[in-house]
Amino acid sequence: MNLAVLPGDGIGPEITNAALQVLERVKRTLSLDLATEVHEIGVAALHRTGTTLPPAVLDACRRADGVILGPVSTASYPPRDQGGVNASAALRIELDLFANVRPSRTRDGLQHWGRTPMDLVIVRENTEGFYADRNMYSGSGELMPTPDLALSIRRISAAASARIAHAAFDLAATRRRHVTAVHKVNVLGVTEGLFLREVQTVARAHPDITYDEQLVDSMAALLVREASRFDVIVTTNMFGDILSDEAAELSGSLGLAASVNFGDRHCMAQAQHGSAPDIQGQNKANPTSLILSSAMLLDWLGRRHRQESFIAAARLIEQSVDGVLGSAAKRTSDLGGPQGTMAFTADVCQEIDARAV
């Protein structure tokens, strides 16, 4: 298996290096057929090539079996016509990564902020919705007819809604067999109605899986009050983006939040958080999110290619991270611990060695 690795901006290179160290350790421990190739993107690529996502890098991602993407500092990029391409959005569109899967769970011994423990996964549609850079064939989904009037177009299609629903029900079949659709049909009756129509159709084809629905505002409250009642949550792009950040923080920290983006042929691991330029280069970043995202990528590859060793590697990484997080003395500063990025990564690698014996 060949992985294209894009370190990104800010703390991206630091946490990407951490993820690569962990992958190298499980590769050696479990004799994985795994190779990585690092490609420059972001601000560094802009200065060298004139674009934050060179065409050669996009081609390498198309050829790879999987992609690891570090955080990117899109707020500091120039306009797209001056080379400022959002690699995250571009890769989701170009590789048709329609499903963004974001798990959130509490851990024994690690403080969480919700009223109940949680073990849920938010399955977010990734290619349309209100996101102006990915919902039009040509041009932007936002327009400004006059200096004092701005409009935003929201695209919801039956095809995209149906395939994200299938992804959610397939995932629920491997978990606690419960899917909750999140919507705002009471005020967005046409677009949300279309989304719900497709999800309900898929739900009827899975009578063995419990199905219910929640308004997005009540869902935001319930994640605080009673997150333990939810298993798999399926929703549209922007609602999923917001709710998954809320769930991650409630579970302990956004720094723990893993995610993958997948389609029919490609999968990309991506930390759920941003590039945190304020702590760049200070050995302060918590690499857990990208390490666990890389584990999710290994699991996806293992299931797609029927490689049990990759599935085992993903479990070993997850268990090792949990083992390290279980010790307050080994946590990073965002979790109240004393460790920096490098020391935390070394602890995870040592834990892998200990568990593999």
Active-site residue set:
131, 184, 217, 241, 245
> Inter-axis angle of helices 308-325 and 341-356, to 10 degrees?
120
Residue 213: DSSP 8-state: E
CATH superfamily of 1-99+255-357: Isopropylmalate Dehydrogenase (3.40.718.10)
Long-range interactions of 346-353: CB distance < 8 A, separation 24+? 348/22, 348/291, 348/317, 348/320, 348/321, 348/324, 349/21, 349/22, 349/25, 351/320, 351/321, 351/323, 351/324, 352/22, 352/25, 352/26, 352/29, 352/316, 352/317, 352/320, 353/25, 353/29
Each residue's pLDDT tens digit, 119-172: 999 999 999 998 887 778 788 889 999 999 999 999 999 999 999 999 999 999
**CA distance linking residue 192 with residue 161, whole number of Å:** 10
pLDDT exceeding 90 applies to what percent of the chain? 95
Q: Is the predicted pLDDT of residue 357 greater than 80, yes or no? A: no
Each residue's pLDDT tens digit, 282-337: 999 999 999 999 999 999 999 999 999 999 999 999 999 999 999 999 999 999 99
**CA distance linking residue 327 with residue 339, whole number of Å:** 11
**CA distance linking residue 122 with residue 144, whole number of Å:** 33
Cα-only R_g, the chain:
20
* C-beta separation of 120 from 231 below 8 A: yes
pTM score, whole prediction: 0.95
Q: How far is CA 134 from the centre of its chain?
A: 17
User: Which pLDDT value is given to residue 169?
Assistant: 98
Residue 72: DSSP 8-state: -
Q: Spelled out in words, what is the top-level CATH class assigned to the domain 112-251? A: alpha beta
Each residue's pLDDT tens digit, 287-300: 999 999 999 999 99
Intervals of CATH 3.40.718.10 along the chain: 1-99+255-357, 112-251
**CA distance linking residue 327 with residue 343, whole number of Å:** 13
User: Which pLDDT value is given to residue 289?
Assistant: 97
In this structure, what is the dihedral angle of CA atoms 72, 73, 78, 84, given to the nearest 10 degrees? 0
User: Which pLDDT value is given to residue 304?
Assistant: 95
**CA distance linking residue 136 with residue 142, whole number of Å:** 10
User: Which pLDDT value is given to residue 356?
Assistant: 84
Beta-sheet pairing, 2-6 with 35-38 = parallel
Strand partners, 262: 99, 267
Residue 236: DSSP 8-state: -
